[in-house]
Amino acid sequence: MKFVEADSHYNIFARVFILSLIFVRTNADDKIFSVISYGAKADGVTDDSEVFLKAWMDACKWNGEATYLIPLGTYMIYGANFNGPCKGSLIVKIQGVIKASTNPKIFCKGSWISFEYLNNLEIEGGGTLDGQGASAWGQSQCATRPYTIGLSSIQNAIVHDIHSINSKMFHFDIYNCNNVTLSHVNIIAPSDSPNTNGIHISLSSNIRVFDSNIGTGDDCISIFAGSQNVNISGVTCGPGHGISIGSLGNKPNEVVKDVHVKNCTLIATQNGMRIKSWASSNVGEATSISFEDIIMDKVNNPIIIDQHYCPSHTAKSLVQIKNVTFNNIRGTSNSLVAVYFNCSSSLPCQKINLNDIKLITDNNSKPTIASCANAIGHATGIELPPSCLKPALES
């Protein structure tokens, strides 16, 4: 069939009609599941957990693209585990504020919000998760304080444009996941809030963190055992303990590899780029790691490898750290020792590469120094402070 070119109005009408049919067909399998439609009170007081889960069960059964909607408003959630597998893909759109309980009898029972056993998940919407952590930071009766969001056994997920404040423990816990991206995430907790890691990654592969602001009382990002192919860029960190790999070696065969951190800024953090392992006899490895184009602003310990983490342990670390590059690291250090490599005498750090390091004290009154123990590698370009790495022995 051929349209008659002379009848331009008919052609336009026909094309619009055909496109509308295509649009309807494309979107026929999409559906919105709003928690308000299921009876959520959104008064900030009433526990809406059961309502949230009822809406989730229906969204999970939908054989298409389901949008699980949390509209503007303030919701109290005691705890919600959003489990799969689900029939279709899911978009969780958080527009409102979700608050956690401040009652230890409620929050000590386990996780707060978790997503498990899902494929093709998106979490977005510009909303806020308020862990109300001040109610838990001084509590000793909880065996484990709850995370704000746990992602467990997730394949293919995107988390973006979400705010997390005052988590009781980790803000985001990523465990046993593959292909997860977090971007434009804002994470806030006081500098003295204990164990409030921004993003904690373990036993996961192909994880990306982009263009986010993180300020906590612990590591902005922590990369733990079993993680590989992790890429981080465009992150502003502070306050907090920096961006850390480890600690490793607390259990046998803990490995982290292929981690790349680029174009990040750290402000007034306790550490900068850190790799840490326990002083224990458990074998492990951290390898193929790079830190590149990093700005330090009044940072303690800007570059640090510490294999005597938790020094009460008397054993020598058997975690092998090798193939680590620090490239174009610049800015100000709050400590005279701006580069600190405290490696294991049993398994010295190997192939540590420093290139174009320019770290000065805040007022530049004294020159920074480097401290090395059992660290083998080489330095090129700018060396401020001067490198203390030992060259590899000629074969």
Residues involved in catalysis: 218, 241
Residues 92 and 113: their CA atoms lie apart, in Å, by 13
Residue type at 368?
Answer: T
Q: Comparing C-alpha atoms, which of 226, 228, 315, 218 is closest to residue 274?
A: 218
Q: Comparing C-alpha atoms, which of 24, 52, 23, 21 is closest to residue 38?
A: 52
Q: Are 212 and 234 in contact (CB under 8 A)?
A: yes
Q: Are 317 and 287 in contact (CB under 8 A)?
A: no
Q: Comparing C-alpha atoms, which of 241, 249, 178, 194 is closest to residue 215?
A: 241
Q: Is 255 helix (H, G, I), strand (E, B) or coil?
A: strand
If 0-12 CB within 10 Å is exposed, 13-18 middle and 19+ buried, where does residue 310 land? middle
Q: What residues contact residue 335 under an 8 Å CB cut-off, 6+ apart?
A: 300, 301
Q: Are 304 and 270 in contact (CB under 8 A)?
A: no
DSSP for residue 14: H
The sign of the CA dihedral 151, 295, 226, 215 is negative
Question: What's the start-to-end Cα distance of the chain, in Å?
Answer: 77
The tokens of 341 are what? 């490599």
Q: Are 74 and 42 in contact (CB under 8 A)?
A: yes
Largest interatomic CA distance in the chain:
89
Q: Are 184 and 211 in contact (CB under 8 A)?
A: yes
Q: Are 155 and 178 in contact (CB under 8 A)?
A: yes
